[in-house]
Structure 1
Amino acid sequence: MRCSLVALVSLALGLAASASPTAFPWTLHEKRSSIPVGWSPTHKLDSTATIPLRFALTQPNIQDIEKHLYDVSHPDSPNYGNHWTAGQVAATFAPSPETIKAVLDWLLSSGVEPARVKLSPTRGWIDVSSNVKEAESLLRTNYNVYTHDSGKEHVACESYHLPAHVAPHVDFVTPTIHFDAKLSKRSNPQIVPKPGNAFGPKTTGGTIGTILKELENCHTTITPDCLRALYGVAYVPVAGDKNSYGVVEYTPQAYLQSDLDMFAKEFNTGLEGKPPKVVSILGGVVQTVNQSFGYNAESDLDIQYASAILTAKQNVTVYQVGDLAQGASFNNFLDALDGTYCTFEGGDDPWYDYIYPDTSPGGWTGPQECGTVKPANVISSSYGYNEADLSAKYATRQCVEYGKLGLMGVTVISGTGDSGVEGNGDMCLNPDGSQSATGTGFNPTFPGVCPFVTAVGATQIRPNASILEPEIACQDHIYSGGGFSNYFAIPDYQKAAVTGYLKNYTPNYPAGTFNTSGSRAYPDLSANGAHYAVAIDGQMTPAFGTSASAPVVGAILALVNDARIALGKKPIGFINPTIYSSKFTKAFHDITNGTNPGCGTMGFNSTKGWDPVTGLGTPNFPVLLAEWLTLA
């Protein structure tokens, strides 16, 4: 029987409003192992200061998301391809009345007046208007003001506690241990990543003069024809009006149409004068005022090579996210794709994500965009964080959303970074979990470590080799990001592959160098990431990185979708259970040479079979297409 939410909340308020404080057993809910790089505590927060507590409520069915996802994504499942609607997703992961009541009862019995308690319209968030003294009492913690080297201040605590009977109903509380991790043009890339500085792309500097377009020159300059030859891509879309492919860009990163036209003219792609489809999210604008490699390289690269692989028969959608005044975070983008995510497990965290409307000068003054954008069948992103930049609970919350997109038939592609086993900013992990340039622990990247994302590493053609010879892991200017998560358990789909690697090839590093306890490993697959010829700011410029690999893999998968859609079949959706299955053992070119150094080591080795440098290998498009066309 369905319970009336209004009646439930009213009952809780009425019963608990006059209750006296109760003694509960308490449990540690979250604790930070170290203060993020660049921050230090400077003074105690005034006990009378106002502090808005926000309790993110847990979702009772989240533990089953992997099971549900496998049901529509594993090639042996009778429900393969039967993706869910957004309504099914929302109904399955709705918060329970029992969770709401447990948290409300505790707050009110602890002396919080009903007038200061607010339940969000979708029941995912409980807000409490409080002061520091009360918040410290409720959470058994102490609040301090932390100051960054840049002068920016932040309110946080080192740990906090919840009553043992309440803790299972609360995902996390803000503000507590979480530090700012917004994607911002104002951020220092040594501390938190920002668009264009997250994974790349990288360049050798200078420009490319005469481009030799013969395939024997692919070892020095990668062109669209090189990629088609390497991976056997000879397919031209026939269902472009029914298919979709999108790349994500964060303002102020932006493409220049003149660069796209220059690239199209150089490589005869048939795309000259044909702009991509731009979807503006939260005031996202394709700005042209700031023009440099740092502003234009990522977007130019993504669009030029995705469009060239897909041809003029399939338009590329650019999700331009965030206004010029403040920018945007991953979650701001995900909000626009899925309206339920705006409030899922409490919605955006103001300590992590940008809050809209933006009242700063020139900011986006419209409402927060929730479910306003239909997600493309394949979405590629070349931006990311170090996993250690985020709390485990925050990363998990976002990872679950990628799983929800997979349930709805969306393939999410993410580059793994360009620093080998090191994180962004060449940071490694210290024994206490903090990051530094002198650390010795491998530092995985997010969202590539999310088990519901397809993570893409980088390869290259050997120096002076032909395209007919096997590629190697990228060793020129960048190293393919890869390794093992410290947050996420190993998913079933890759247990056999990763177990085989660790049994036969695991490097002999000291304990604690990387996680050997059975965790999500990455990348899942790879593509060439070296010596790309890219038109940037009116010049042909060499570019390197998984920023190149990711959109190319995304475009190849979009071609598979086109062929399936033309036959009346569904998009491939979440691909990881499929590509790790025995049906696809011949669908990738195995990469067996090269390493991904970092943190004072040679990193991992590329070996026979899956490895944490290049994953399963590079696409063998004819086999991939043939195998996917046999599936329902």
Structure 2
Amino acid sequence: MRFTTFTALAIVLASMAVAAPAPSAMRVKESVTMPSGWVRRGPVAAGTEIPLSIALKQRAFADLESEILAVSDPKSPRYGKFLSREQVSSYLTPSAESAAAVRRWLEEHSVKEDLSRRSFAGDWVRATVPVERASAMLGGAEFAEFLNERTGEVVVRALEYSVPESVFDHVDLVGPTTYFGKPLAHRAPSRIAEWLPVGYKPHADETVVHADNRLAVNVAAAVPPPACTTTNQTTLTCIRQLYGTIDYKVQKPNSQFIGISGFLEEYPNDKDFNQFLSTERPDALAANYKYRLTQIDGGGNNQSKPGVEANLDVQTVAAISFNIPSTYYSNGGRPPFNPDQATPTNTNEPYTTEFEYLLSQQTIPSVVSTSYGDDEQTVPRDYAVRVCGEIAGLAARGVSMVFSSGDNGVGSDGNCVSNDGKKTRKFLPAFPASCPYSITVGGTEAYAPEVAVSSKIGGFFAGGGFSEYFARPAYQDNAVKGYLKTLGKKHAGLFNPNGRAYPDIAAQASRYLIVVGGRYVRVGGTSASGPTIASIIALLNDARAAVGRPNLGWINPLLYYGQPEQVLTDITSGSSAGCDTDGFPAAKGWDPVTGFGTPNFKKLLAAATA
């Protein structure tokens, strides 16, 4: 069908008369202020090639949104009847008029499209052009080299660009022109990794609760702490005990697979994986269980450079969901920029490369775990909307798109101002956590009871808040309005009460014990809670497959329209502090700290298979 779809689009384009009309007036498409921390280093060397991505207006995205709700709402008669690759593509394919307008624009500037990089639906077209030509295409856009003073990264960007009036209504954006951000792994900023001594291995006396825990455990609590738990570190065996998955046996291992997003040259390491399994899942090691690795757009697999984030993701998924297959998607699209050579600059399309790839595949994961994100305001609005649309397309196909909520609470202290030049004080929501079609996961720590993760043990506050780009979806109204009523005027003016609220659910996020470079290391952050929830969703999918049920897919309507208090443990203590405030407090029911709470697998299992 890919050939059919591609050929049909080509025939439409070829049949349009490519006239040479008088030059069209230009209209500003996007204008941004240089983000904090960046400085203009100088002009771009003549002949430097710029990789441009043009997002064509999608034909019927509003109709696709209706389809997503129809297959994801448990009250709908079409619940679980997910769309095919071709059905989703039919909604995303641009109109013949839009395709022809962009075709004429490219030909007017003698730009040849890279057909190998056209998206399956034809809604993204790409070309690499000299900077002089890119500037002419985009209304004299002033491309320059910009330096990140903190990281030393150099990118070629423009603060403003225009497109012809004849094209303006047919394209959503041209990237990466104004996009200075990049995805960051959601790991605790003050405690990225605590390396244990060389030769250390977990041993028996660490499987009991120590008396010197820094956070007191309520031994009289109705739910006792799991036997393996300490606040010093969290083993995956402990996680399996805590949430009740430890006795579950996978019944249909070949009915699905789990996808794991990998960016920024983060690679999982095979030797580390086996060493981890030797202590956490010896049954998986004995079965020679492996993750698969798929390279997208030049993604690598450097076994001499084990990534903390990559290892955390694949090891967490393996420990909880063995023996469901998993695939790590190693994404490229970020080649280094050498200002002394006329080579392509870093394209910085961290999400579209992977999500487009998945949308083009016939066989796709049942769940995708993404432990990356950035401040929403650093992502151009049009780009964020397009990425969220791709998340929606995958949700329509029955994929549970799981994202970590972030590790800066409502924003980093001392840095909570708008980047529009006005420097308005405000909370800073995260993206893609803020996309309405994301299943967004917050973080907890401690046991009996669990509380929202804090600086006391975890060394950070989990992200939570309200989007400034995306309106609150109807499915959230009752839960969020109830919380806002309780919140009252607290932090009024610092957040958008009408925005998509997140997270939706939570899991442990503090001091996971994993292996990196042959050494055991403690890692904290919602980078850990995200793959934990993704793995539990996969186990529920397995149980549903065993009784002839479809995958859960996008679970948000099920959560918000259902009775989450019956299958989740409500977290009512803690906050999402940040921006030099105490942030949003946890509360009974939904809150923008831990969502509806943490999973009780046995109750979820009963509900999912009833």
Secondary structure of the residue that 2:442 maps to in structure 1?
strand
Give the number of equivalent residue pairs: 559
Compared CA separation, residues 20 and 470, structure 1 to 2 (3 A): closer
Q: Per-residue CA shift, 1:142-180, capped at 9, x if unaligned?
A: 5242431437352414353653x743322113464x134
CA shift for structure 1 position 528 = 0.9
SS at 1:535 equivalent? strand
Q: Distance in 2 between the 1:128 and 1:537 partners?
A: 39
C-alpha separation in 2, matches of 1:48 and 1:531 = 49
Task: Describe the superposition over 1:458-517 as per-residue Cα deviations: whole angstroms up to 9, x where unpaired.
Answer: 0011xxxxx443444444212111111121111222122111111211552252x2223x
Q: Which runs of 5+ in 2 are unaligned?
A: 1-6, 209-225, 337-345
Q: 1:226 Cα deviation (Å)?
A: 2.6
> 1:249 corresponds to which residue?
262
Does the aligned pair in 1 maintain the 2:467–2:496 contact within 8 Å? yes
Alignment-derived partner of residue 413 in structure 1: 402
SS of match in other structure, 1:271: helix
**What's 1:349 paired with?**
none
CA change 1:582–1:318 in 2 (3 A) is same
Partner of 1:212: 206
Q: 1:160: which partner in 2?
A: 162
Cα distance between partner residues in 1 of 2:39 and 2:123: 32
In 1, Cα distance between equivalents of 2:522 and 2:235: 11
Matches within 5 A, 1:163-312: 163=165, 166-174=167-175, 176=177, 178-181=178-181, 192-194=182-184, 202-206=192-196, 210=203, 211-214=205-208, 215-216=226-227, 218-220=229-231, 221-233=233-245, 234-250=247-263, 252-267=265-280, 269-272=282-285, 274-282=288-296, 284-290=299-305, 295-311=306-322
TM-score by length of 1: 0.78
3-state SS in 2 of match to 1:418 = coil
Whole-Å separation in 2 of the counterparts to 1:624 and 1:240: 19
Paired residues of 1:247 and 1:379 also in contact (CA < 8 A): yes
Q: Relative to 1, partners in 2 of residues 1:231 and 1:474: Cα closer, same or farther, differing over 3 Å?
A: farther
1:539 — aligned with what? 519
Displacement of 1:558: 0.7
2:363 matched residue in structure 1: 374
Give the Cα–Cα distance (whole angstroms) in 2 for the partners of residues 320 and 137 of structure 1. 34
Provide the TM-score with structure 2 as the length reference: 0.81
Tell me which residue corresponds to 2:556.
576
Given that residues 373 and 431 in structure 2 are in contact (C-alpha distance below 8 angstroms), is that contact kept between their aligned partners in structure 1? yes
Cα offsets for 1:170-197 (capped at 9, x unmatched): 2113464x1344xxxxxxxxxx445587
**Which residue identity does 2:600 align to in structure 1?**
N
Distance in 1 (alpha carbons) for counterparts of 2:460 and 2:381: 28
Match of 2:211 in 1: none
Q: Secondary structure at the match of 1:259?
A: helix
**What's the CA shift for 1:431?**
3.7
C-alpha separation in 2, matches of 1:179 and 1:427: 23
How far 1:455 moved relative to its partner?
0.7
Quote the residue 1:497 is aligned against: 479
- Give secondary structure in 1 for the equivalent of 2:285: coil
* Shift in alpha-carbon separation, 1:507–1:604, aligned structure 2, 3 A: farther
The aligned counterpart of 1:433 is 420
1:296, distance to aligned residue in structure 2 (A): 3.4
Q: Secondary structure at the match of 1:384?
A: strand
Cα-to-partner distance string for 1:264-284 (whole Å, 9 max, x where unaligned): 333454123534232231454
After superposition, the Cα gap between the structure-2 partners of 1:410 and 1:91, relative to the gap in structure 1 and judged at 3 Å, is same
Deviations 1:374-408 (A, max 9, x none): 32211212122222221111111111111111111
From 450, 472, 480, the equivalent of 2:462 is 480
Q: Determine which of 428, 431, 440 is the counterpart of 1:455.
A: 440
Residues 126 and 377 of structure 1, relative CA distance in 2, 3 Å threshold: closer
Report SS of the residue matched to 2:372: coil
Paired residue for 1:597?
577
Tell me, what secondary structure is at the counterpart of 2:495?
Answer: coil
After superposition, give the CA deviation of every residue in 1:517-564 in whole Å (9 maximum; x if it has no partner). x11111110001113222333333322111111111111111100011
Cα 1:147–1:224 shift into 2, 3 Å = closer
- In the TM superposition, residue 74 of structure 1 has moved relative to its aligned partner by 0.5
Q: Is the 8 A contact 1:451 1:491 kept in 2?
A: yes
Q: Is the 8 A contact 1:594 1:605 kept in 2?
A: yes
1:275-308 deviation per Cα after TM superposition (whole angstroms, max 9, x unaligned) = 4232231454543323xxxx43223322333222
Moved more, 118-127 or 269-278: 118-127
SS at match of 1:502: helix
Partner SS state of residue 406, structure 2:
coil
Structure 1: which 5+ runs fail to align? 182-191, 340-370, 462-466
Letter in 2 for 1:314: I
2:358 aligns to what?
337
Q: Secondary structure at the match of 2:274?
A: helix
Q: Which residue of 1 aligns with 2:85?
A: 86
With 329-338 and 199-208 compared, the bigger mean Cα shift is at 199-208
Are the aligned partners of 2:73 and 2:79 in contact in 1 as well (CA < 8 Å)? yes
Q: Secondary structure at the match of 1:380?
A: strand
Query: Counterpart in 2 of 1:143?
Result: 142
Partner residue, 1:360? none
Deviating more after overlay: 488-497 vs 54-63: 54-63
Moved more, 553-562 or 254-263: 254-263
Q: CA RMSD in A?
A: 3.7
Residues 473 and 591, structure 1, Cα contact 8 Å, conserved in 2: no
| Counterpart selection for 2:496 from 502, 510, 515 | 515
SS in 2 for 1:428: coil
Paired residues of 1:416 and 1:457 also in contact (CA < 8 A): yes
Deviations 1:97-125 (A, max 9, x none): 122345567x59xxx74865769677545
CA distance in 1, matches of 2:155, 2:372: 25
User: Which deviates more from structure 2 when the two are superposed, residues 235-244 or residues 201-210?
Assistant: 201-210
Equivalent AA in structure 2 for residue 213 of structure 1: T
Paired residue type of 2:57: T
Question: Which amino acid in 2 is paired with 1:387?
Answer: E
Percent of aligned pairs with the same amino acid: 31
Q: Larger deviation: 619-628 or 215-224?
A: 215-224
| Partner in structure 2 of residue 31 of structure 1 | 31
Alpha-carbon shift at residue 201 of structure 1 (Å): 7.6
Secondary structure of residue in 2 paired with 1:270: helix
